[in-house]
């Protein structure tokens, strides 16, 4: 019995002592608590060798974050028209690919670091698509690692998205993302100023919606067009319910085109799309940019 007791004591000691003596695992001090990947808007960055990209509007968000936060900006073509070098669809895909790579690299180097995505305009389009990819479990990191997504003037805003600020009608000009943001939806916020046509297009404005759909698919190879099947069916379904092609042709007649030209002239002249630095979204006087900065600071 004494021999058995001695053997049991030795076994317990061999099991417990290493657990007691093992040093606590500590996070790499060089790793940030939060990695913010920011995607600038159209023309705010570039991949051209002679260009000097600047952070653009989002600098007001990342500039005031704690030292434990690392913010990196995505460089991509940030163009929209063929004569600029890249059509919108290929430019946005480049932004998504680059942002995905940055998140993947950080996750591999710093497994304990949380991630956040922010974007403006075309950058919000790209950041939102990547967030939806991660949120459906198909991303480069698990959904729980993406703790914050902030989208400013998202062309794919849905009325069901969490809007910070006064209510605005409609969806983004390119239509809402089919399936939404999945498991990161509760950590995703969007901002859209009244009158910003990029993120606030009426459901029955089929000309703008068709233009937005064509922008999304521009430059896509034939094999990739199937990825937009759900968007095409949603657009066609709404058009069919409104009367089909005759309803679209009414929006393309001479009087409708004249009104559209005036609407676009007023929109671009208002600078509402570029004015999120002064767009107040709450009773405390926070603008879209200061609200988003505070929100990310709380997540650091």
Q: What is the pLDDT of residues 40-67, one digit of tens each?
A: 998 888 888 776 656 789 999 999 899 9
Order across the sheet with 114-120: list the strands. Answer: 69-73, 34-39, 114-120, 146-152, 188-191
- Of 23-32, 38-47, 76-85, the one with minimum mean pLDDT is 23-32
Q: What is the distance between the alpha carbons of residues 248 and 261, in angstroms, rounded to a whole number?
A: 17
243's tokens: 């009367």
The domains of the chain, with CATH numbers, are 34-201+272-299 (3.40.50.1820)
Tell me what pLDDT residue 80 has: 76
Q: What percent of the chain has pLDDT over 70?
A: 86
Average pLDDT of every residue of the chain: 86
**Residue 5 — pLDDT band, cuts 50, 70, 90?**
very low
Q: What is the distance between the alpha carbons of residues 133 and 177, in angstroms, rounded to a whole number?
A: 11
pTM of the model: 0.84
- Cβ proximity of 163 and 125 under 8 Å: no
Q: What is the distance between the alpha carbons of residues 180 and 292, in angstroms, rounded to a whole number?
A: 21
Q: What is the distance between the alpha carbons of residues 121 and 123, in angstroms, rounded to a whole number?
A: 5
């Amino acid at each position: 019995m004494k021999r058995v007791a001695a053997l049991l004591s030795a076994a317990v000691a061999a099991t417990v002592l290493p657990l007691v003596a093992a040093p606590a695992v500590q996070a790499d001090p060089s790793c940030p608590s939060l990695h913010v990947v920011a995607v600038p808007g159209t023309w705010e960055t570039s991949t051209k060798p002679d260009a000097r990209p600047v952070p653009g509007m989002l600098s007001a968000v990342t500039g005031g974050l704690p030292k434990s936060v690392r913010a990196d900006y995505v460089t991509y073509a940030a163009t929209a028209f063929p004569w600029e070098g890249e059509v919108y669809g290929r430019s946005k895909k480049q932004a998504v690919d680059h942002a995905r790579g940055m998140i993947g690299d950080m996750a591999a180097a710093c497994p304990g670091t949380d991630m956040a995505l922010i974007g403006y305009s075309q950058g919000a389009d790209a950041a939102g698509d990547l967030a939806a990819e991660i949120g459906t479990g198909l991303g480069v990191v698990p959904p729980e690692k993406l703790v914050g997504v902030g989208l400013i003037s998202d062309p794919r805003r849905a009325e069901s998205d969490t809007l910070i600020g006064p209510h605005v009608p409609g969806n983004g000009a390119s239509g809402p993302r089919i399936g939404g943001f999945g498991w990161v939806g509760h950590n995703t916020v969007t901002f859209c100023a009244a009158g910003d046509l990029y993120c606030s297009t009426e459901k029955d404005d089929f000309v703008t919606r068709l233009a937005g759909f064509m922008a999304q698919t521009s430059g896509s190879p034939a094999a990739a067009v199937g990825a937009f099947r759900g968007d095409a069916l949603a657009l066609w379904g709404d058009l069919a319910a409104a009367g089909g092609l005759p309803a679209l042709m009414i929006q393309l007649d001479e009087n409708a085109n004249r009104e559209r030209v005036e609407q676009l002239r007023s929109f671009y002249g208002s600078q509402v799309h570029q004015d999120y630095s002064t767009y107040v979204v709450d009773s405390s006087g926070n603008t879209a940019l200061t609200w988003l900065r505070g929100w990310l600071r709380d997540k650091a």
